[in-house]
A = this chain, B = another copy of it.
Amino acid sequence: MNDLIKTSNKFPIPKSMKAWVLGNANELKMIDKEIPLPQKSEVLIRIDAVAICATDLDVISHGPPAMIEGGLPFNKNFTPGHEYMGTIVALGPSVDEFEIGTRVTVEIHSGCGQCKRCRMGMYTSCHNYGLNYGDNDKGHRANGFTSDGGFKQYAINHINTLIKVPDDMTDEEATLVVTAGTTMYGLTELGGLVSGESLVVIGPGPIGLLGVAIAKSLGAYPVSLVGTRNDRLEIGKKLGADYVFNVKEEKNIVQAVKQKVSNLGVDYVIECAGTEQALNDAILMTNRGGKICLAAFPHEQVKINIPHMVINNIYMYGIRGEGKSATHRAMAFMKEKRFDAKLIHTHTFKLEDLPLALKYARERVDGAIKVVLKPWE
């Protein structure tokens, strides 16, 4: 190994690791792969747990990276998975911000640091997104999207993507920090000062459920959760929702929310359902001057009530991922146990059972919400 790279006998690094890689769309196979070395400002992480996100299902079925229009040429041998955590086992040259043995969870994006967005601190909107290959390597990485992800045993991460995990937080819970970071980023962009403000989360998936928890942590009141399944809504209540609404049981969800909260509508909506209906509900239940954060999206163009949005001075934020160090802010609340993120972790599998785990996640088998893989069990 490069002698500027630091390792430790306590964490011996094997020559190769198990890694799932993509073939054609929907083809996944587990192979043995060489373990890469950390470069300047990078570390090598032994992955201790990795969660499955709905976006992983997209990446796997459409070929990576699902998030770039037009696609990229490295379809094959790509490892998806972006919600992972683990233990640092090697430090690249110049890294003294972290120590070997430290448990960390990760953000997805490491920006190029050079484009106008990165220079503004908007590293998740890096203008060199996807440019991390060969001569054209601008240094951008989006692990699990444009560079290899976490459905394997070891990963290289830029130090900008690392968040320290407290000792009393389980591996499984630590994989959820980036999920919580997504709505934290959304609320950051909406202004952040939501204490005492009314807020609705539409869509009780993992992002929506932790969105309830984050909004409550920041003091939002009342926080309403809108969904279609009562079991999910019950979890939302445990995570702090003041009111829950089952759209299937309401004649008019917009009126139901207004009647409960305020006939003017609510100050903020975090839209996590990604359907045309939910988007328009969001617009109609937002009050004059209110703000909507889009944390999910439909796969096609949808009919939107733009007139209502403009007449009522409503702003809509297409938020992507977990930018502006929002994961650190999410971790601050999780570390203090403001809410129990573990409530959304339902199943654990071994790394080799990824296909089964994906099935659980996709089809919500047995009430699955967050499905986690443990690569070393």
Contact = CB atoms under 8 A, between A and B. Distances in A.
Contacts of A306: 279, 294, 297-298, 301-302, 304, 318
Contact of A332 (B159, B219, B304): B219
A13 interface: no
Interface stretch (A26-34, A76-84, A132-140, A246-254): A132-140
Range for the number of chain A residues in contact with chain B: 35 or more
Nearest to A321: B313
A260 interface: no
A25 interface: no
A51 to B, nearest CB: 21
B315 A320 contact: no
A318 B309 contact: yes
B310 A320 contact: yes
Given A287-B127, A313-B318, A320-B313, A221 B189 contact: no
Contacts of A332: 195-196, 219-221
B288 A125 contact: yes
A129, A136, A193, A280 pick with most chain B CB within 10 angstroms = A193
Contacts of A366: none
A53 to B, nearest CB: 15
Interface stretch (A113-121, A229-237, A340-348, A350-358): A113-121
A207 interface: no
Most buried by B among A189, A279, A297: A297
Contacts of A297: 306-307, 309-311
A298 B307 contact: yes
A315 B315 contact: yes
A319 interface: yes
A94 interface: yes
A193 B315 contact: no
Contact of A138 (B94, B300, B309, B338): B94
Nearest to A301: B303
A328 interface: yes
B303 A302 contact: yes
Interface in A322-343: 323-325, 328-333, 335-336, 338
A54 interface: no
Contact of A301 (B139, B304, B320, B325): B304
23 contacts: A67-B311, A113-B160, A119-B121, A119-B160, A125-B312, A125-B313, A192-B192, A195-B333, A196-B328, A219-B336, A294-B306, A294-B309, A294-B310, A297-B311, A298-B306, A301-B307, A304-B304, A309-B316, A309-B318, A310-B318, A310-B319, A312-B320, A314-B318
Given A184-B195, A279-B306, A296-B310, 4 more contacts: A41-B114, A193-B329, A195-B332, A195-B333
